Structure 1
């Protein structure tokens, strides 16, 4: 039996995704998590840096380079670089809370008793979440564009925006990166059946463990390539390809690499997160509340 047959067909997954999407949009957690990133991304990535430059906190010529990165032509790389690692906590929390609360409230048991198909349930959740992330990415990008245009006006710079191709590529990269972080949150929620536990483990990983692992692998001979399989370096590679400055450090964007390989790594993480989530749900008894 094919995967499509086991999940009730593509139409069944789409119908389930529509139901989950409606439920997600009615939850305050969705608006809080997405709204926090929509505000925090442009604030820390643009406003704070501009204030530091304006107050003389960065000496020349570095100040001019930082300011150039805040203007509209540099927007594709600047916005994408904000996903390493600043977007990760917000979007991981989004996935962990939306799915983890299903266990806390006991609604997973109700859904599975209704026999929608366990793999179909996970695929529908994932698809709905990807749509929510896409909306958050567009909103954050729009706010960032407005802030960047304001900075350009204050500095008397031209009104030239980024090339259309680079803009679309940046949106796609941000959507992919954000979706992967959210799906990792979903995986942790299914594994721990608790939003709090999923958030704790996820934040420790993206903010502490992955950075430590990157730093360790960078100094060990012959294993530096392993860090390219981590989420942070993969997203950072895309940001560098879009114009963000490369930084040879264990925290932040990183030195860059092959963007095609980075896309493959991120897609691999997405497939792994959804696949393991489906496996966990299929092999468990119907969970009870708590």
Structure 2
């Protein structure tokens, strides 16, 4: 048997052993990151803040306006009597994503930035990457843990919306009509894309800045201020409009708008919800951003010195 053949077989066996090792490292890193996130009070606080915002602005304020017959900022331009249909279970697909592009997205950005950036301040990245599995497995565990956290937040949001809408239907003596499964699946999928994109953006900025505080500040300024200013300028200068139409916030807002959450031309639309892009282009653009943010973050982590 030639030396080349023996070398080739040894290399193949080494590669075959490397795949299970990488998978095992990814699973172990995911479990460790999930344990860290689960025991971190900041994560629970962020999730609770989002759930309270969703409950307050999607149901509480509108139900108060409906039951009292008053008008306020939450239902400006909409008769109070027209609010009830949006508070019932059948409207959940359109209500679910209403607050996700701006407020929910900002919270998920903070979650991703804390998950990735805190490893530098605490020194855990240095320890994990020098003593644990490969860098890709370790960082992949963080991405997987953040993704699982996003799924958990979406599930909790959906359960809360169902509970609130059913309670309102019972109190108001309305028959309970369940939402169409197709529309509900599209809303959940859209919510996962929106939250996932912003969470991965937070992870990327956390890795780039190596500081959770700086990453959180940059993310909030970008999602709540800069994109809105750029869209305002884009309405005046046509050249800038082509750029603002493909920004992450625009894509997320347009996806929510396509799912029925309303838009800037809808007085009942939530802040950050837009109708700039159609549903399919918006979903593809959000998915592309999600993948790019995750891949760039992994590449930076792989080649950067963590000392």
Q: Please, which of 267, 270, 273 is the counterpart of residue 287 of structure 2? A: 267
Cα distance, 1:11 vs structure 2: 4.5
Structure 1 residue 216 corresponds to structure 2 residue 229: no
Structure 1 residue 204 corresponds to structure 2 residue 217: no
Q: Residues of 1 paired with 2:164 and 2:290: CA distance?
A: 31
Closer, same or farther: CA 154–274 of 1 in aligned 2, 3 Å: same
Q: Residues of 2 paired with 1:269 and 1:209: CA distance?
A: 18
Q: Please, which of 39, 45, 57 is the counterpart of residue 44 of structure 1? A: 57
Greater CA deviation, 208-217 or 53-62? 53-62
Deviations along 1:183-239, whole A, 9 cap, x unmatched?
111111111111111111111111111111122223322553433322222222222
- 1:65-144 alignment, distance < 5 Å: 65-144=82-161
Q: Residues of 2 paired with 1:40 and 1:180: CA distance?
A: 20
Cα distance, 1:257 vs structure 2: 2.9
Give the SS at the match of 1:53.
helix
Give the SS at the match of 1:272.
helix
Give the SS at the match of 1:181.
helix
Q: Residues of 1 paired with 2:224 and 2:141: CA distance?
A: 29
Q: Which residue of 1 aligns with 2:201?
A: 184
Cα distance, 1:50 vs structure 2: 2.0
Question: What's the TM-score, normalizing by structure 1?
Answer: 0.88
Cα distance, 1:137 vs structure 2: 0.9
Q: Residues of 2 paired with 1:216 and 1:77: CA distance?
A: 29
Higher relative contact order (CA 8 A, sep 6+): 1
How many residues align? The count is 285
Closer, same or farther: CA 15–59 of 1 in aligned 2, 3 Å: closer
Q: Which residue of 1 aligns with 2:257?
A: 240
What is the alpha-carbon root mean square deviation over aligned residues? 2.6
Equivalent pair of 1:232/1:252 in contact (CA under 8 Å): yes
Q: Residues of 2 paired with 1:59 and 1:181: CA distance?
A: 29
* Structure 2 residues not aligned, in runs of 5+: 1-14
Cα distance, 1:10 vs structure 2: 4.2
Cα distance, 1:178 vs structure 2: 0.9
Q: Which residue of 2 aligns with 1:30?
A: 43
Closer, same or farther: CA 8–224 of 1 in aligned 2, 3 Å: farther
Q: Residues of 1 paired with 2:154 and 2:196: CA distance?
A: 10
Closer, same or farther: CA 126–60 of 1 in aligned 2, 3 Å: closer
Equivalent pair of 1:74/1:243 in contact (CA under 8 Å): no
Q: Which residue of 2 aligns with 1:167?
A: 184
Cα distance, 1:122 vs structure 2: 2.2
Question: What's the TM-score, normalizing by structure 2?
Answer: 0.84
Cα distance, 1:6 vs structure 2: 9.2
Closer, same or farther: CA 213–64 of 1 in aligned 2, 3 Å: farther
Q: Residues of 1 paired with 2:169 and 2:239: CA distance?
A: 45
* Structure 1 residues not aligned, in runs of 5+: none
